[in-house]
């Protein structure tokens, strides 16, 4: 075979080999350029990673007005396969007009995550959990909660995240 | 071994044979290079004939890349076969074309692969920050800042971002995987085979 002809055939074969799978794949994907070009799996889980404040739920609470100790477990809802739990924090209760005005939490608050070993969470709440108008006999359901001045550090899949002076409002037990 | 056999063996482009065989094997050897952010947050494994995107442990596929990779795999195997044929029959007039064509199918993808890696790192280090929606985030308290730094080919750096009161530090690690040695060896042998062919003519 003439080298020149062979060169042309080889060049043509290159073009065909490159184009055929692309054209075939494009037709298989309904000739929809967007579905052909964009990633199609695995990114949905990033939405709602930490949930919204409204997604927080509480459980296993103890709230002792006599001793001034509070123990709460709060769970951040997440679209991933784990929840973040703030657990067992305690502090001093301050009263206003015979009712609980607000609670100052201890400096170190242990924050834990469930169902994963990849998530490490540590935090500090230096002003605390604000509780409005709770009187003796009231339960945690009666509290109007919000957190303020929270410094939260997290390590998630090797990424370190630090949130300073975080305010979490409208927490509904 | 007769003198006729010896002269036949001398009339074979051995570097071309070796490069051709490696080219046929290369699509099945996996990634050449990997970049990972965090431990499992995000990783990309690449070679000219393989890709794998992982986001938080979940594989992510891009259809166009799947088909492009198939095309490149077929092309390198076909190029390897042509290189072997050209190297076996060096006294045929088609030999030079076959060796030139076949060797090009490993030389150019390998060179382009490294250029794309370097360009990608250059883009991230110098221009990616400009594409972040910093202006839209100016309403956020304390604004937003991004500091992207990645190694050019191998190594570990830490990129940072600050949005309002949140700061994140993301370690980014780039590393070569062992199959890259086969790729570089195949490319080197392919280059040698071109020079070697000149000796026969």
Question: Are A33 and A53 part of one and the same domain?
Answer: no
With an 8 Å Cβ cutoff, are B170 and A159 in contact?
yes
Distance of CA B92 to the CA centre of its chain: 33
Considering the domain architecture, whether residues A151 and A99 belong to the same structural domain is answered as yes
Residues A87, A30 share a domain: no
State whether residue A20 sits within 8 Å of chain B by CB: yes
Cβ-based contacts under 8 A for chains A and B: 115
The rounded radius of gyration (Å) of the Cα atoms in chain B is 23
Does B155 fall in a domain? no
Q: Which tens digit of pLDDT belongs to each residue from B98-153?
A: 999 999 999 999 999 999 999 999 999 888 877 777 666 666 666 778 888 889 99
A14: containing domain = 3-37
Same domain, A160 and A76: yes
Q: Lowest mean pLDDT: which of A4-13, A132-141, B86-95, B166-175?
A: A132-141
Does a structural domain hold residue B29? Answer: yes
Please identify among residues 154-173 of chain B the ones whose CB lies closer than 8 Å to any CB of chain A: 165-171
Which chain A positions have a beta carbon within 8 Å of B170's beta carbon? 158-160
Same domain, A56 and A84: yes
**Are the C-beta atoms of A121 and A95 separated by less than 8 Å?**
no
The secondary structure of B5-48 as a DSSP string is HHHHHHTS-HHHHHHHHHHHHGGGS--SEEEEETTTTEEEEEET
Residue B54 belongs to a domain with what CATH number?
Answer: 1.20.140
Range of the domain at B13: 3-126+175-200
Name the residue among B151, B154, B133 with its Cα closest to residue B143.
Answer: B133
Q: Is residue B166 part of a domain?
A: no
Q: What percent of chain A has pLDDT over 90?
A: 5
Instruction: Give the integer Cα–Cα distance in Å for B128 and B107.
Output: 30
**B13: in domain:** yes
Alpha-carbon distance A5 to nearest alpha carbon in chain B (angstroms)? 10
Segment 41-80 of chain B within 8 Å of chain A by CB: 41, 53-56, 58-64, 66-68, 70-72, 74-75, 78
Number of domains chain A contains? 2
Q: Tell me: the pLDDT tens digits for A48-101?
A: 444 443 344 444 444 454 454 555 555 544 444 444 444 444 555 565 555 555
Output the pLDDT for position A135.
52
Minimum Cα–Cα distance from B68: chain A residue: A22
Beta bridge partners of A122: A153
Does any domain span residue B36?
yes
Which of B60, B96, B166 comes nearest A161 by C-beta?
A: B166
Kindly state whether residues A81 and A10 are assigned to the same domain.
no
- Give yes or no: residues A147 and A164 share one domain: yes
| C-alpha closest to that of A67 among A36, A114, A96, A100 | A100
Whether B89 is covered by a domain: the verdict is yes
Cβ-based neighbour number of residue B165 at 10 Å: 17
Residues in chain B with CB shorter than 8 Å from the CB of A6 are: 94, 97-98
Indicate whether A104 and A156 sit together in one domain: yes
Q: Are residues A61 and A145 in the same domain?
A: yes
CA angle B17, A17, B104 (to 5 degrees): 40
- What pLDDT does residue A31 have? 76
């Amino acid at each position: 075979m003439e080298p020149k002809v062979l060169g042309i055939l080889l060049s043509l074969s290159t073009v065909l080999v490159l184009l055929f799978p692309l054209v075939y794949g494009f037709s298989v994907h309904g000739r929809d350029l967007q579905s052909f070009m964009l990633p199609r799996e695995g990114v949905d889980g990033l939405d709602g990673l930490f949930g919204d404040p409204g997604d927080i739920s509480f459980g296993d609470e103890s709230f002792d007005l006599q001793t001034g100790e509070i123990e709460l477990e709060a769970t951040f809802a997440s679209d991933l396969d784990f929840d973040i739990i703030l657990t067992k924090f305690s502090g001093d209760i301050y009263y206003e007009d015979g009712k609980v005005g607000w609670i100052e939490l201890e400096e170190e608050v242990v924050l834990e995550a469930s169902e994963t070993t990849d998530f490490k969470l540590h935090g500090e709440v230096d002003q605390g959990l604000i509780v409005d108008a709770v009187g003796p006999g009231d339960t945690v359901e009666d509290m109007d909660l919000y957190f303020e001045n929270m410094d939260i550090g997290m390590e998630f899949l090797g990424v370190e995240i630090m949130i300073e002076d975080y305010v979490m409002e409208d927490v509904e037990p | 071994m007769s003198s006729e056999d010896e002269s036949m063996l001398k009339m074979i482009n051995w570097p071309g044979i070796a490069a051709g065989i490696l080219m046929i094997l290369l699509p099945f050897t996996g990634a050449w290079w990997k970049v990972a952010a965090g431990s499992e947050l995000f990783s990309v494994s690449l070679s000219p004939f393989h890709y794998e995107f992982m986001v938080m442990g979940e594989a992510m596929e891009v259809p166009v890349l799947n088909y492009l990779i198939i095309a490149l795999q077929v092309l390198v195997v076909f190029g390897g076969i042509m290189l072997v044929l050209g190297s076996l029959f060096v006294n045929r007039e088609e030999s030079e074309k076959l060796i030139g064509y076949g060797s090009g199918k490993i030389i150019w993808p390998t060179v382009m692969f490294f250029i794309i890696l370097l360009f990608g790192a250059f883009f991230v280090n110098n221009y990616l920050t400009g594409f972040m929606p910093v202006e839209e985030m100016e309403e956020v308290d304390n604004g937003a800042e991004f500091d992207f730094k990645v190694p050019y080919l191998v190594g570990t750096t830490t990129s940072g971002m600050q949005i309002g009161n949140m700061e994140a530090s993301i370690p980014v690690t780039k590393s070569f995987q062992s199959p890259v040695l086969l790729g570089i060896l195949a490319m080197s042998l392919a280059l040698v085979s071109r020079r070697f062919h000149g000796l026969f003519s």
